[in-house]
Structure 1
Amino acid sequence: MADLLLVVSLAGRRVAFPAADVEGVVELEGLTPAPCAAPHVAGLSALRSRVLTVIDSLVALDAGQAGERALANAVIVPSGGHPYALLVDAVEDVVEAASAVVPLAAPAGNGWDRVALGMVEAGSDPLLLVDPHALIAGPAAQAA
């Protein structure tokens, strides 16, 4: 069986997450600020009686800030025993990988190099495969 990928749009780019790392996809309503949190933590939200730490993926990539939205598309990823919501621009589909993951042939740019697992084909499209746990760790993880 081929590996499954969740295809999303993030920072204006079509990318994929390994579907095995994803618990679900939701539209978040409401965000509570988290004082003294890392800059890439947008705040906290609730989902089915659980508190989610919401990650602004643009900040985690050093690519800007998502800003205020009434509804936000988010990918739910459990990491370290805690659920996180990664904000994305749009969620497209779950597809089978058409190739194995291959290393990047050239730098992906800015924060992408830190979160990239490699390239993978989905259908006829090559997509950057993103490590959601690296987004959760944020830009400070690169310095460490």
Structure 2
Amino acid sequence: MNDLLVMTQIAGRRCALRAHDVQSVIEIGAISPVPRAPEFIAGITAMRSQALTVIDCRLALGFDPEQWPCDDRAIVVAVDGYSYALRIDSIEDITTGMDEVGDIPGGFGQEWSRVATGMIETRTGPALLIDLAALIRGPEAIGAAA
């Protein structure tokens, strides 16, 4: 696998997103809350007159966001025709995958098994390859799958 990957930190773990899924990286400005939205949806923000749903990835995984600092930037992605701004711990680098996607070793937990398609070795070290649609569904998907 020689795909370009955007390397990030989410809830203290090294994660990779396929670069072709990433539209841009933005500075998060004002976030307007959305009444009755699930907790992991921080609200909406604007990017060049386009509304983006802001997802707190740590909450979407079911973790306490206070454990990790959050970057002022967000990764903009589109899933199923909707645009999202993903709030993460940090954005590290862009690199390439060195090998095929492998199995996720034990011990990562149900949260990561739900959103990671596997482990990928990169030029900057191993990372969990993230399924964006699964991440955006949020922690409610854990209860629905059980």
TM-score by length of 1: 0.90
Question: Secondary structure at 1:118's aligned position in 2?
Answer: strand
1:47-62 to structure 2, matched below 5 A, reads 47-62=47-62
* Contact 1:117-1:128 at 8 Å conserved across structures: yes
What's the offset of the Cα at 1:143?
2.3
Structure 2, gaps ≥5 residues long: none
Tell me the SS of whatever aligns to 1:34.
coil
4+ aligned runs moved over 6 Å, structure 1:
none
**Structure 2 counterpart of 1:125, which letter?**
G
Residue identity opposite 1:25 in structure 2: V
- Matching residue's letter, 1:10: I
- Structure 1 residues 106 and 75, CA gap change in structure 2 (3 angstroms): same
Structure 1 gap ranges (5+): none
Question: Does structure 1 residue 3 correspond to structure 2 residue 3?
Answer: yes
Q: CA distance change for structure 1 residues 32 and 100 in 2, over 3 Å: closer, same or farther?
A: same
- Determine the structure 2 residue equivalent to 1:92: 92
Give CA-to-partner distance per residue, 1:62-83, whole Å, 9 cap, x none: 111369x997221111012110
Contact 1:29 1:71 in 2 (8 A): no
Amino acid of the structure 2 residue aligned with 1:103: D
Percent identity, please.
Answer: 41
Match of 1:75 in 2: 75
Q: Contact 2:120–2:129 (CA<8 Å) still a contact in 1?
A: yes
Does 2:134 match 1:134? Answer: yes
Equivalent position SS for 1:141: helix
Q: CA RMSD in A?
A: 2.1
Tell me the distance in 1 between the aligned counterparts of 2:139 and 2:107.
Answer: 17
Range moving further from structure 2, 20-29 or 44-53: 20-29
| 2:33 is equivalent to residue 33 of structure 1 | yes
Q: Kindly provide the CA deviation profile for residues 26-69 of structure 1, in whole angstroms up to 9, marking residues without a partner as x.
A: 111111000111121000000011000000111111111369x9
Question: CA 1:79 to 1:130, structure 2 compared with 1: closer, same or farther past 3 Å?
Answer: same
Aligned length: 143
